[in-house]
Amino acid sequence: MWNGASGYWDALQHDLVINFPRKDTTDDDTQKRFDLIQYLARDPNTDLFRMFSVQHHQRGRDPRWEERYVKSTRNGPVNISWNENNTVTFRNQRFWYFQPDMSNGSLSDNVTSINPIIATIAYTLRTERVILKVIVDMILRTYHTNMFLKANVSSWLFDGVGDPILDLVGHIPHLPYTIPFDRFGWFYKRNGSIDADGLFVTNTGAADFSELGKLERWQHSNRTVYRDQCGELKGTTGELWALEHEQPEIQIFAADLCTHMSLAYSGPVVKQGLPGVEFAANDSLFDNGYKYPNMACYCDEVRDENCMAAGALNVSACKYGAPAFVTRPHFLGMDPYYPSKIEGLKPTENHNFKMAIEPVTGMPLAISAQLQANALVRHIPGISLNNQLPDADMLVPMFWFREDITVDEHYANFAAMALGVRYWFPYGCYFFITLGLCLIVTGVYRIRKYTLMRLKEADISASQKFLSHGDKKHDFAMQLKENTL
């Protein structure tokens, strides 16, 4: 079962690396960057959650998003180990704290939504024999009269919702996944956990600077659950960046998606007085081969007769078989097939996933991370409890989150000063080189002038001595002549 949709973002939200990238980067340089990340992890950021309610849909009215619930987060890498092969191993730890003064609602607010446990069982048994599904349906109906679940926000998100069906899951045959939880919650058992996101091994860039931050292994493997090239580890986890000049896109590995996300270059920006480059999601994000053939490997050909419409990523294999699909909020950029079945959605560009980076330091200047978790509910012959929505094939929004981060004034000023030093350093070098040359030329000129003056003085002295010696000879000759006469 999916117990976290924004967990992968913990690595990104404190990527304020202010050491300048250098081609001679060493492990010590990279360690300084990690030390800085751990220090910055003390500063809280905020997550915004909006729960989607189907209660109004049951009554024939438009479904609506519930009030916003804001939690501050404190994240950072822990259990850091530096390896001899120019890699670093670490885990991520994350804490959430409810902020009532920033929230429009209370954690005690009740929200009615699809029962994800029933939806998961029906989804995983969809290809099994009808007789098995009928038996399972009878078992489910001994505990539930419908497929909807009402619980408060705190239970939906972190405390978890108890359900006796979870105790029976291990006894239901032909389930391909083992659910290791006794309660259901989108972030159940994730608060303070160092194991939820898994074990990461990234490159330090000591041998090759262009490899800085590259994810080498995750969960002891260099591949994920997806087939072909979609299962390859790509991008960074966000702690370290080595941007190239005019880089067309960046790739961020998302642990909760078991894959990477690509953000395309969208243009220059200025944040807190610092120039940067912005990357944003486009229609290639969560495509399944409809527009971009190289993305077709995200379509599960084995277990899905019909591939999901473009704009939704099937993460069920990553979430214990739950029919979990990830989109942008309000189905932004998605094929209209599923959004047309849900009223009240208003996607705008403000719902897009964006990130601005200072290209020299690799420091994120601003982040707007937004994703939406959805449950695919399809009518399954034999499991009537699951077939209570009016449409036989619906992608039901569960919640979406937004995390807004902007580099604060302190670090912006520090970065501006460092960038200023970097910018003016060549000119300073030119100035001192020019000054040095001027001093050398002046020195040579003065030495030459002094030498010439000394030579001239020596010539004059020699001439005077010569003339003085000549006068003495003349006087001696005149005296000798007088004596002779």
Per-residue pLDDT of the chain (485 residues; tens, 9 = 90+): 444 333 333 332 333 222 333 334 455 555 545 444 443 333 444 455 566 666 555 554 445 555 567 767 767 788 989 999 989 999 988 888 888 887 878 888 888 888 988 998 898 888 889 999 999 999 999 999 999 888 888 898 889 998 888 877 766 666 666 666 788 888 888 888 999 899 999 988 888 877 888 899 999 999 999 988 999 999 888 666 777 777 899 999 999 899 999 999 999 998 878 888 999 999 999 998 888 888 888 886 655 555 777 899 999 888 877 889 999 999 999 988 888 888 778 899 999 999 888 887 777 788 888 899 999 999 999 999 999 888 888 898 888 888 777 777 777 676 666 665 555 556 556 666 776 777 777 766 677 766 777 666 666 665 666 556 555 555 555 555 555 55
Q: Is residue 395 within 8 Å of 312, Cβ to Cβ? A: yes
Q: What is the pLDDT of residue 28?
A: 55
Q: What is the pLDDT of residue 45?
A: 46
Cα 119 to Cα 41: distance, rounded to the nearest angstrom? 37
> Cα separation of 339 and 354, whole Å?
22
- Give the pLDDT confidence score for residue 83 in this predicted structure: 92
pLDDT score at 36: 43
The CA radius of gyration of the chain, in Å to the nearest whole number, is 36
Give pLDDT, residue 222.
94
- Identify the pLDDT of residue 281: 95
Question: What amino acid occupies position 246?
Answer: E
What is the β-pairing status of strands 161-162 and 110-114? unpaired
What is the distance, to the nearest Å, from the Cα of residue 218 to the centroid of all Cα atoms in its chain? 15
What confidence score (pLDDT) does residue 343 get? 77
pLDDT, residue 43, reads: 41
User: Distances from the Cα of 419 to the Cαs of 103, 408, 411, 413, in angstroms?
Assistant: 37, 16, 12, 10
Does the predicted TM-score (pTM) go above 0.85?
no
* Domain ranges across the chain: 7-407, 431-485
Report d(CA 122, CA 316) in Å as an integer. 13
Which pLDDT does position 109 carry in this prediction? 86
